[in-house]
């Protein structure tokens, strides 16, 4: 049985034009900055890229500890931030938590940065 936990309530901004086309409002800038902050950490970028490059874009937390060379609590902390920001979903199977890339989440951020 798969139980979804930590369902995100902060999803990357799906609205709005690319930021080069028209000035962001203060509220839009706050939202986008919060999303960017989740990405602006080298460990989180590595974890995200490992999960994304895994089969079915999913990885067990047990397979994420060794590649980044950090403790399990530290890795779990970073995964929680990526989950809260809407980039990953978390499910638990047996002893381990599994993390999966949310389809389209990175693309939405990408589209806000492009010139057209």
Binding site for a copy of itself (CB under 8 A): 19-24, 26, 29-30, 32-33, 36-37, 39-46, 48-50, 52-53, 57, 67, 101, 106-107, 109-111, 113-115
The nearest distance, CB 61 to a copy of itself, in angstroms, is 16
HEC assignment per residue over 49-114: HHHHHCHHHEEEHHHCHHHHCCCHHHHHHHHHHHHHCCCEEEEEECCEEEEEECCCHHHHHHHHHC
- Whichever of 1 and 15 has its CB closer to a copy of itself, that residue is 15
- Whichever of 32 and 97 has its CB closer to a copy of itself, that residue is 32
């Amino acid at each position: 049985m798969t139980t979804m936990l930590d369902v995100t309530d902060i999803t990357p901004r799906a609205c709005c034009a690319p930021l080069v086309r028209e000035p962001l409002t203060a509220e839009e800038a706050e939202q986008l900055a919060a999303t960017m902050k989740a990405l602006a950490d080298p460990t989180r970028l590595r974890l995200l890229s490992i999960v994304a490059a895994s089969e079915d874009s999913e990885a067990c937390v047990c397979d994420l500890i060794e590649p980044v060379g950090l403790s399990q609590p530290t890795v779990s902390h970073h995964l929680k931030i990526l989950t809260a920001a809407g980039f990953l979903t978390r499910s638990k199977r047996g002893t381990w938590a599994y993390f999966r890339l949310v389809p389209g989440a990175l693309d939405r951020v990408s589209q806000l940065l492009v010139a057209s």
